[in-house]
Chains A and B, each alone.
Chain A
Amino acid sequence: MINTYEVLETNRMIAEENLDVRTITMGISLLDCADSDPDALCGKIYRKVTEKAARLVSVGEAIAHEYGIPIVNKRISVTPIALVGAAACKTPEDFVRVAETLDRAAKQVGVNFLGGFSAIVSKGMTPADERLIRAIPEALARTEYVCSSVNVGSTRTGIDMDAVRLMGETVKETALLTADRDSIGCAKLVVFCNAPDDNPFMAGAFHGVTEGDTVIHVGVSGPGVVKAALTQAHGLGFEDLCETVKKTAFKITRVGQLVAKEASERLGVPFGIIDLSLAPTPAIGDSVADILKEMGLEQPGAPGTTAALALLNDQVKKGGIMASSSVGGLSGAFIPVSEDRGMIEAAECGALTLEKLEAMTCVCSVGLDMIAIPGDTEASSIAGIIADEMAIGMINQKTTAVRVIPAAGKKVGDRVSFGGLLGYAPVMAVNRFSCGEFIARKGRIPAPVHSFKN
């Protein structure tokens, strides 16, 4: 039987170390909503989302209450809308209407984000894909809950540089259209390489076409718990350090697995995957940066950061995989800047630069995340940042992503503030030299060689 020490340990993790289940995300396929009439399409989408997810929030809250574990977010991911709306949406404005429908459905069922205003264009864009991408700035400006993502490359296909160029412009326009709210639209827009079909985390969640009709994915978290465990590991060798992270990740993930199974059973929806991610929040003690400091770095960004992060990421996976029946999504440590108090501090004191963050993304999920850059950054430079990150994903067979915010009217040293889980961030410097001619080239970067790995 369970003993007092174990009960107290669990409850301490929850009460003092911010242990929570970060999200229960219901994936809903909208493929059967496709129609050639935009009104009919919107009607079918609204009905399907509100019917399937009607009980999602109440079931999530009941589980949280009964087990005493906070479940922070209840969310929905849907089939990439570029596919669902391809027949009906003849203009970008038609796609914006679909986004508004999704927004109303999300509001109706009480979730705090809905992802899937997306296009998968890793090899090329269909006219519908392009229309959706051109609709993104307006869609994100006019909606509150909708998140958007575009997959512009993969290890198998290479990188569609036409899409990269278009996304550079799209990110910039999204920032301008939400300039009155610190360009918050860009916080809901992710550009991916190798995007997973089953990611439960926003803003990049969508319900891939490889998935079933509806599915429940769970994203666990708990950087605070790992950090607290590591305070006991000062001065110990790497073997003990790894063992501590692994054991802690196991415990955290078991809670996620329990919640996922319960939610799946109560909602009558199949369980999909657990996403083993250390997802920070701006709350004190809920920081991945603090884990790196606990390992022995003065600040994230210091020499040794990439190695420390690689270790952390790998041990989290090793511990978590055994604790779950099925792992997927992004699974790794997240290093968003604005959503992690320790990362914000490191960026503010100059320890962390865009270039070091890029290096860090080579060894962890998921990419350049929630980074504010000057509002006057050229669209081609944003496309260049995207292309660099996509190349890292393509060559290393991993998911990478870019979620940068070219904060309209802001310059290096200013601060943007989004509130809530999205946090706040200092505006970071971008290399001032141009990549305009490179980005202006048409076509794609071909798929890489899958042998001769060096």
Chain B
Amino acid sequence: MKKAIITVVGKDAVGIIARVCTYLSAQHVNILDISQTITGGYFNMMMVIDLTESLVSFSALQEGLSAEGAEIGVIVHCQLEDIFTKMHRI
């Protein structure tokens, strides 16, 4: 399974999760885990996704997600999971 981590940071608004999830669903990307917090009006979300069935290339998915984010005023990053697991797990 090839996994990636999505992080969404920005001012809280209605429908941020819905927007990201709808986009992922359209690309056949499965969501494995979501966690989110709001601190001082700022929305902070992390999502673990499975890229195995994705209809588009990883770089297209990255661009698509940041374009979706830009439309609703949040910053969306999508990175392959390895950079986090290698750094934080022995």
Contacts and interface: CB of A to CB of B under 8 A. Distances in A.
Interface of A: 1-4, 6-11, 62, 65-69, 251, 254-255, 257-258
A2 B86 contact: no
Interface residues of B, number: 24
A255 B87 contact: yes
Contact of A66 (B7, B35, B80, B88): B80
Main secondary structure of the interface of A (DSSP, over half): helix
B84 A66 contact: no
A1 B48 contact: yes
Nearest to B37: A4
Given A8-B7, A66-B79, A251-B88, 17 more contacts: A1-B48, A2-B48, A2-B81, A3-B35, A4-B46, A6-B88, A7-B7, A7-B46, A10-B84, A65-B62, A66-B80, A67-B82, A68-B83, A255-B86, A255-B87, A257-B86, A258-B83
Given A62-B59, A68-B77, A7 B86 contact: no
B88 A2 contact: yes
A11 B88 contact: no
Nearest to A258: B86
Nearest to B62: A65
A4 B83 contact: no
B71 interface: no
29 contacts: A2-B5, A2-B48, A2-B81, A2-B84, A2-B85, A3-B35, A4-B35, A6-B84, A6-B87, A7-B7, A7-B46, A7-B84, A8-B46, A9-B88, A11-B7, A66-B59, A66-B80, A67-B80, A67-B82, A67-B83, A68-B77, A68-B83, A251-B87, A251-B88, A254-B86, A255-B86, A255-B87, A258-B83, A258-B86
Contacts of A9: 88
B58 interface: yes
B90 to A, nearest CB: 8
B9 to A, nearest CB: 9
A257 B82 CA distance: 11
B48 to A, nearest CB: 6
B44 interface: yes
Nearest 8 A/B pairs, CB to CB: A68-B79, A67-B83, A6-B88, A254-B86, A4-B46, A258-B86, A2-B84, A251-B87
A264 B77 CA distance: 25
Contacts of A69: 83
Contacts of A6: 84, 87-88
B2 to A, nearest CB: 11
Contacts of B80: 66-67
B77 A11 contact: yes
A69 to B, nearest CB: 6
